[in-house]
Amino acid sequence: MSAEAQLDITQAPRTNWLVLLPLFLVLGLGLLLALNLLQKKRDQDAGRDSKEVPSPLIGKPVPAFDTLDLVTGAAVSTKALRGQAFILNVWASWCAVCQIEHPVFNAYAKTPGALPVIGLNYKDAPDDAKRWIAQLGNPYNQIAVDENGKIGMDLGVYGAPETYFVDRDGIIRFKQIGEMTAQILATQTARMAGPR
């Protein structure tokens, strides 16, 4: 073997190590994506949808609104609700999942220690909404009318149903996107009653 060939061999380990760097980067990236995928699977098993958009309003004051009650026509405002924790349930008569989750709220409203449930009738025709309530029952202490969806936009609503848990300081503590369950209602109610 010639001297040049030997030189090549002594240089080989250093070069090889650097050449492998992209491979390690790709492997690292693959690992990261795999972990993310697993997390997504875990979220799905826990009943969370990966398409859900995290709300920037968690931990922030509930946006103020001042509107009328669907049934009584009385004023409904965040101002009047201050000082007590409540649940804000966004619903509409055109929303199929709202109909599915409605019995859960009907049952919840009858349980002792239940928080007041405020309905937000989102982008709905008032007549349709009234008929819906008459047929399926009214678990709501008040139903705020949001016909043009302005209150919904302030809340970051991007579909119905969505449910917000507001503590007695008027801070949004939790947001459920999609169907509400009795279990979530129970755990979040207990959380609201706790410190802070």
Q: Please pick, from the candidates 18, 46, 74, 96, the single residue that binds another protein as defined by CB under 8 A.
A: 18
Q: State yes or no: residue 15 binds another protein (CB under 8 A).
A: yes
Rounded to a whole number of angstroms, the minimum distance from the CB of residue 7 to another protein is 8
Q: State yes or no: residue 53 binds another protein (CB under 8 A).
A: yes
CB under 8 A: which stretch of 3-11, 111-119, 161-169, 181-189 binds another protein? 3-11
Helices (H) and strands (E) in the chain, counts: 7, 7
Q: State yes or no: residue 46 binds another protein (CB under 8 A).
A: no
Rounded to a whole number of angstroms, the minimum distance from the CB of residue 140 to another protein is 23
Q: Which of 63, 137 has the CB closer to another protein?
A: 63
CB under 8 A: which stretch of 23-31, 82-90, 129-137, 178-186 binds another protein? 23-31
Distance (Å, whole) CA 118 – CA 120: 7
Binding string, residues 146-185; x marks residues near another protein by CB under 8 A: --xx---xxxx-xx--------------------------
Cα–Cα nearest to 173, from 151, 153, 188? 188
Q: Please pick, from the candidates 48, 57, 109, 147, the single residue that binds another protein as defined by CB under 8 A.
A: 57
Q: What's the distance, Cα to Cα, between the start and end of the chain in Å? A: 80
Q: State yes or no: residue 35 binds another protein (CB under 8 A).
A: no
Q: State yes or no: residue 59 binds another protein (CB under 8 A).
A: no
Reported for 50-59, long-range contacts at CB under 8 A and 24+ positions apart, including other chains, are 52/177, 52/178, 53/156, 53/158, 53/177, 55/156, 55/172, 55/175, 56/156, 57/155, 57/156, 57/172, 57/175, 58/172, 58/173, 58/174, 58/175, 59/171, 59/172, 59/173
Distance (Å, whole) CA 115 – CA 118: 9
Q: Which residues bind another protein (CB under 8 A)?
A: 1-2, 4-5, 7-8, 11, 15, 18-19, 21-22, 25-26, 29, 32, 51, 53-57, 123, 148-149, 153-156, 158-159
